[in-house]
Amino acid sequence: MAGIIGDAHAEDVRLARALDFLSSRGVDALLQVGDFIDGFGDDLACARRLRASGASVVRGNHERWLLEALPALGGTSRRLDAETLAWVASLPTTRALSTAAGPALLCHALGEDDMTLLLPRHGPADLAANAALPALLAGPARLVLAGHTHVRMVRTIGPLSTRADSTAGSPPEQATTFVNAGTLHRRDRPSCTLVDFVAREVEHWDVHEDRPATFASSHRF
Taking the whole predicted model, whether its pTM rises above 0.85 is answered as yes
> What b-and-e string marks burial along 133-143, b requiring 16 or more CB atoms within 10 Å of the CB?
bbebbbbebbb
Residue 168 pLDDT: 52
Residue 170 pLDDT: 65
User: What amino acid is encoded at 184 in this protein?
Assistant: L
Residues 93 and 60: beta-carbon distance below 8 Å: no
Q: What residues pair up with 156 in beta bridges, in sequence order?
A: 177
Nearest Cα neighbor of 139 from 117, 180, 171, 166 is 171
pLDDT < 70 regions, the chain: 161-170
Q: Domain segments of the chain: what residues? A: 2-216
Residue 162 pLDDT: 47
Q: Cα(12)–Cα(14) distance, rounded to whole angstroms?
A: 6
CATH code, residues 2-216: 3.60.21.10
Residues 152 and 118: beta-carbon distance below 8 Å: no
Residue 49 pLDDT: 98
Q: Cα(57)–Cα(94) distance, rounded to whole angstroms?
A: 9
Helix (H) or strand (E) holding 178: strand 176-180
